[in-house]
Structure 1
Amino acid sequence: MPISTSDKPFKERIDLSKEDKFMQKAVEKSQDVQWEKREGSRERIGNWEQWRELGEQIRQHTITHLDYYLEQFSDNVAKRGGHVFFAETAEDASDYIKQVIEQKNSQKIVKAKSMVTEEIGMNEMIRELSHIEFFESDLAEFILQEDDWDAPSHIVFPDIHKNRQQIRQVFHDKLGYEGDDNPQRMARFVRGILRQHFLEADIGITGCNFAIANSGQVNLVTNEGNADLVESIPKTQIVVMGMERIVPNIEDAEVLDNLLARSAVGQDLTTYITFAGPKLPDESDGPEDFHVVIVDNGRSKVLGTEFQSILQCIRCGACLNVCPVYRHIGGHGYGSIYPGPVGAILSPIIGGYDEFKELPFASSLCGACTDTCPVKIPLHQLLIEHRRVMTDEKKMMHGFQDVQMRAIALGTAKPFLFKSALKVAHAGLGVLASKDPVAAINFSTNGVIKKGPGLIKGWTDVRDLPRPVKEKDNFRSWFKEREKQRGDKHDTDS
């Protein structure tokens, strides 16, 4: 399945991520830096919560009337001389793009960063066409391409898991680069390579940040300017967009561009904001043949459901930049091109629960993602809804883990069983406890459980779990004795 980035089981992916200490440090640093930049840019715009509410209203209105705006956009693209193809599945989208490539007898294609092209498996399809030269033009994506098409690990910063020494080695081995690992010199080296590809390409492929319904234009938001070259130099342009990436007019796009820039990279305004379409008679550049592929691929099935609000997403990646789970496992741990909280919601919708059933549980439900989302998607609530669907409707979570949860529920719901458990907890878990010279400072002489069984194993693998105290020393006994002493004192005073 194109959306999947790994054939390894979830547990194995997590174990590999936990061993990748560089990745963890890189993500940690990026999250901290982005926090400062993001909050600073949001503060400078003023009334940030009102901006969020406006963004939410625009997105909700558009999604509610999606059929109307898609038809309006399609008609306006056609009026400008372009072509629109509605793709129900990823295969439909990829097949149409292949058809255009073959009709144009294309020899070289350049592409700007686009998550939805990864989603539909377009890259793999083009790479199988042996006569085609195909190049990513976004610097980070170009690095991943040269590193044997390594999978992206972030929506906005796809190569966040690599350092400059690793990147320098890739350029040396694959491109003959002999310079040092100075980022500016490496970027200049790549620019020299890509400029020639831009000039020679006969097809340019881009994603779409927002499609403008009432004008038939495509709004591209970039920092490197590569998307502008991709859409303006080749004679043919193919735009690939999710069906939800549409706004009624340019004024709404300007609001969302402001929200996107501040949330994605912490800038007041992204370096390049472009509104593009087919080349007009009085224009000197731009595509002569313009195609827009509008991808459904499971999106329409969430319309009118509890998951509809995920279609509001503007792909800023802010939720990844505050997520404590992403901070520890990075993007590759999710096994999807869409990582982080948004990926944990989107991946089961697009790829199915069988493939991504673990992702909704890869969350602490702290709500930081919901708090930072610029269009106010209730992300953590959608994760809970996924869990409910899998447990109650699809009956997927009924293995040994479910047996344990039911046993715990029964024990905590019945006072007799709960009190009985308190009586034996200290002795019963004693066999698992060990004395830890550091932990013992906090946990007195009871010790800690280092290798817990069943459900608590995930906790004890990375944290200390104190052994339960004896019944006579627990809180309930202490509180009961305290109340008794207060009662005795009151009787004496009386």
Structure 2
Amino acid sequence: MDAPQLAFKERAAAALADGALKIAIDRTTGNAERKRAAAVAAFPEFEAARARGKAIKDHVIAHLDHYLEMFERNATAAGAQVHWAADDAEARAIVTRICLDARAKLVTRSKSMLGEEIGLPHALADAGIERVETDLAEHIIQLAGERPSHIVWPAMHRTREQVAQLFKVGHVPPPAAEDPATMVQSARRELRAKFLGADIGISGANFLVADTGATCTVTNEGNAELTTTPPRVHIVTAGIEKLVPSTAHAFALLRLLVRSATGGEMTQYTTFHHGPRREGDADGPEEMHIVLVDNGRTRMLGDEFRAMLRCIRCGACMNHCVVYRQIGGHAYGGTYPGPMGAVLTPVLDGLAQSRDLAHACTMNGRCAEVCPVGIPLPTLLRAWRTRSWRERLEPGSLRVGLGLWAMVARRPRLYRLASRIGVRALRLMGRRGWVRSLPLAKGWTAYRDMPRPAGRTFMEQYRAEQAGRRAPE
């Protein structure tokens, strides 16, 4: 069964039981965490740069209409055609129409989470257009028939051994060995003819530069350039929040993006696309189309989730999330995983379908600590919890249980009595220092043991401590 059809708890349970997944996650996120820490330590101006990045994004969000109009005007002047999509269905229709009008048979696509968000892969398949993912990780998950599990490393849930098996089946001829260099060479050989034979190249955009009308892509493989340059038509799909006022502002955010995402100072390829090929240009597409997608973003401008529009899609929040690092990205069920996905998915798919995501957070705050633009992710997740309660989406048993707890908590004597009974009962359930199973809490003890409590409440222990201090020597 496809993972999104299952409930979150079922997806999480399946992920926790997958030993190979845990190995793959630990390899990638642990490495990313160490590299980010080293990059930040080597960049003393990081906090000042983060404050500037936050200010840039907040300024654009506050004046989004102004910069959207400026971008459209300058992109059009550069020869690009700008299209507006209110939602995912309209975005899919626009891209599909451009492809059909161009009589495209083969489309290459550079990695774009916005394309995943609007369901572009399925739309192209339904239109009878062959789609080839050119990012190495996206190529892997296309062979596996899966969705991305991370916004920077889409195939991070796959071990090297699993990738080798996919290449043996999907590449003709298969790779001669399973070492990374040989497998990369096999993928390069498999994709090169597709790059040169594609009718249309589709990319995303890390930034949209308002004062020039240019789009900016950031990659480490060069596949974006091969996707956007040889085909006769280049289509860009981008969320309207990707705007920056100028190229200087784009580079200010790039300093944060790359360090937070991969721990580098700059990616191998940072490319600005400024309209189609002009007379005298050596290469480039004959047509350039830019599809600006709303899909709930303007709605976020007016509610408590406005700060989420700052997101520059670095993935640092999920690399440091204790929940993501246990269950991976597919367990979240939506396009975007991790803390940022837990905030965005209810916007895209509705709270009723995704209310469990906000409750999957431990509220330890690490995601907010590492966010390069200061998004208060735990605060936004609490806001979804509040809205879920207000809209009565919580199970009846939970509402009754919290009501009983609130009744006891408002009565100090009753609360103290219940606490004394509770800790003593838990101590009786413990064996060898641990409680391995608890009534009404099997969702916790199914995956971890709880330390056996001391047998006295905190206040009882505090009073005993104070009495010991006052005792005469």
Please classify the TM superposition score into its range, dividing by the shorter chain length. over 0.9
- Opposite residue 451 of structure 1, the aligned amino acid is S
Equivalent-residue separation in structure 2 for 1:484 and 1:178 (angstroms)? 73
SS in structure 2 opposite 1:85?
strand
Deviations 1:14-46 (A, max 9, x none): 111101122112212322211221122223332
Is 2:449 the counterpart of 1:464? Answer: yes
Of the candidates 141, 147, 153, which is equivalent to residue 149 of structure 2? 153
Deviation at 1:435, TM superposition (A): 2.2
Of the candidates 282, 287, 290, which is equivalent to residue 289 of structure 1? 287
Matches within 5 A, 1:446-485: 448-454=434-440, 456-466=441-451, 473-480=456-463
Which residue pairs with 1:119 in the alignment? Answer: 117
Which residue pairs with 1:324 in the alignment? Answer: 322
Residues 210, 245 of structure 2: 8 Å contact kept:
yes
Deviation at 1:201, TM superposition (A): 0.6
CA gap 1:435/1:63 in 2 versus in 1, 3 angstroms: same
- TM-score of the superposition, structure 2-length normalised? 0.95
Of the candidates 275, 284, 292, which is equivalent to residue 272 of structure 2? 275
- Opposite residue 45 of structure 1, the aligned amino acid is F
Deviations 1:404-462 (A, max 9, x none): 1222222232122123324533665577x1523xx2xxxxxxxx4322122x3332223
Residues 164, 178 of structure 2: 8 Å contact kept:
yes
- Opposite residue 443 of structure 2, the aligned amino acid is G
Deviation at 1:479, TM superposition (A): 4.3
Equivalent-residue separation in structure 1 for 2:376 and 2:142 (angstroms)? 34
Deviation at 1:279, TM superposition (A): 1.4
Residues 69, 246 of structure 1: 8 Å contact kept:
yes
Of the candidates 321, 336, 339, which is equivalent to residue 337 of structure 2? 339
Matches within 5 A, 1:276-425: 276=273, 277-392=275-390, 394-425=391-422
Which residue pairs with 2:130 in the alignment? Answer: 133
Which residue pairs with 2:163 in the alignment? Answer: 167
SS in structure 2 opposite 1:268?
coil
Equivalent-residue separation in structure 1 for 2:52 and 2:467 (angstroms)? 58
Consecutive unaligned residues in structure 2, runs of 5 or more = none
Deviations 1:453-494 (A, max 9, x none): 22x333222333355555xx55544544565566674xxx9x
Equivalent-residue separation in structure 1 for 2:365 and 2:471 (angstroms)? 46
Aligned positions, number: 470
Deviation at 1:107, TM superposition (A): 1.3
Equivalent-residue separation in structure 1 for 2:199 and 2:34 (angstroms)? 41
- Opposite residue 282 of structure 1, the aligned amino acid is G
- Opposite residue 281 of structure 1, the aligned amino acid is E
- TM-score of the superposition, structure 1-length normalised? 0.91
Equivalent-residue separation in structure 1 for 2:40 and 2:263 (angstroms)? 8
- Opposite residue 150 of structure 1, the aligned amino acid is E
CA gap 1:50/1:480 in 2 versus in 1, 3 angstroms: closer
CA gap 1:401/1:234 in 2 versus in 1, 3 angstroms: same
CA gap 1:342/1:481 in 2 versus in 1, 3 angstroms: closer
CA gap 1:452/1:78 in 2 versus in 1, 3 angstroms: same
Deviation at 1:363, TM superposition (A): 0.9
Deviations 1:256-275 (A, max 9, x none): 11111111111111000000
Equivalent-residue separation in structure 2 for 1:386 and 1:91 (angstroms)? 25
CA gap 1:295/1:421 in 2 versus in 1, 3 angstroms: same
Deviation at 1:178, TM superposition (A): 4.3
SS in structure 2 opposite 1:234?
coil
SS in structure 2 opposite 1:241?
strand
Deviation at 1:280, TM superposition (A): 1.8
Deviations 1:227-256 (A, max 9, x none): 011111101011000110111110001111
Equivalent-residue separation in structure 1 for 2:230 and 2:471 (angstroms)? 90
Equivalent-residue separation in structure 2 for 1:346 and 1:327 (angstroms)? 19
Equivalent-residue separation in structure 1 for 2:55 and 2:469 (angstroms)? 57
Equivalent-residue separation in structure 1 for 2:458 and 2:342 (angstroms)? 38
CA gap 1:469/1:249 in 2 versus in 1, 3 angstroms: closer
Which residue pairs with 2:84 in the alignment? Answer: 86
SS in structure 1 opposite 2:323?
helix
Is 2:6 the counterpart of 1:20? Answer: no
Residues 96, 127 of structure 2: 8 Å contact kept:
no
Residues 153, 159 of structure 1: 8 Å contact kept:
yes
Consecutive unaligned residues in structure 1, runs of 5 or more = 440-447
Deviation at 1:344, TM superposition (A): 0.5
Equivalent-residue separation in structure 1 for 2:468 and 2:211 (angstroms)? 76
Residues 370, 376 of structure 1: 8 Å contact kept:
yes
- Of structures 1 and 2, the larger Rg is shown by 1
Deviations 1:69-101 (A, max 9, x none): 111111111111211111001000000111111
Residues 144, 151 of structure 1: 8 Å contact kept:
yes
Equivalent-residue separation in structure 2 for 1:479 and 1:194 (angstroms)? 67
SS in structure 2 opposite 1:6?
helix
SS in structure 1 opposite 2:316?
coil
Deviations 1:54-80 (A, max 9, x none): 100111101111111111111111111
Task: Tell me the C-alpha RMSD between the 2 structures.
Answer: 1.9
Matches within 5 A, 1:243-254: 243-254=240-251
Residues 25, 157 of structure 2: 8 Å contact kept:
yes
Equivalent-residue separation in structure 1 for 2:61 and 2:396 (angstroms)? 37
